[in-house]
């Protein structure tokens, strides 16, 4: 009987441990986000830092935003929505005209007029 209780305790403990460990897992994903310059980079990365995001890095040359996040707290759809609210369209979320128009003139990526 004691042996069965020990086995049950060990199984219960391992299940609890693996469930809590799974919640701490992180995922790396990327999406293409429109932008022009270093000001865009800062704005995109700041907007991507939502609850659960551990790292966000936008590349000016490739326009790829790489995000490391906890899937238990967020997903790329939510991150893309926040970036779109900041005025930058992506593969997963389109910025509204109003949000786009709020960008500084040099950050209007649809016109390709940025000089820095």
Examine residue 61 and state whether it is found in any structural domain, yes or no.
yes
Confidence at residue 33, expressed as pLDDT on a 0 to 100 scale: 97
Query: Cα angle vertex 67, ends 15, 64, to 5°?
Result: 150
Within a domain: 12: no
Q: What is the Cα–Cα distance from 39 to 24, expressed in whole angstroms?
A: 32
**Considering the domain boundaries, does residue 15 fall inside one?**
no
| pLDDT computed for residue 4 by the predictor | 53
Query: pLDDT in tens for each of the 116 residues of the chain?
Result: 655 545 544 555 555 555 555 556 999 999 999 999 999 999 999 999 999 999 999 999 999 999 999 999 999 999 999 999 999 999 999 999 999 999 998 888 888 766 65
pLDDT score, position 87: 96
Separation of alpha carbons 9 and 5, rounded Å:
6
CATH of the domain at 34: 3.30.70.100
């Amino acid at each position: 009987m004691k042996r069965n209780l020990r086995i049950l305790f060990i199984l219960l403990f391992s299940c609890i441990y693996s469930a809590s460990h799974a919640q701490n897992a992180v995922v790396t994903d990327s999406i293409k986000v429109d932008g022009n310059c270093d000001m865009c980079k800062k704005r995109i990365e700041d907007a991507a830092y939502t609850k659960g995001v551990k790292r966000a890095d936008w590349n000016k040359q490739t326009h790829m935003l790489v995000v490391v996040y906890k899937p238990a707290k967020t997903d790329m759809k939510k991150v893309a929505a926040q970036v779109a609210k900041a005025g930058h369209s992506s593969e997963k979320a389109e910025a509204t005209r109003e949000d786009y128009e709020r960008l500084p003139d040099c950050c209007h990526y649809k016109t390709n007029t940025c000089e820095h």
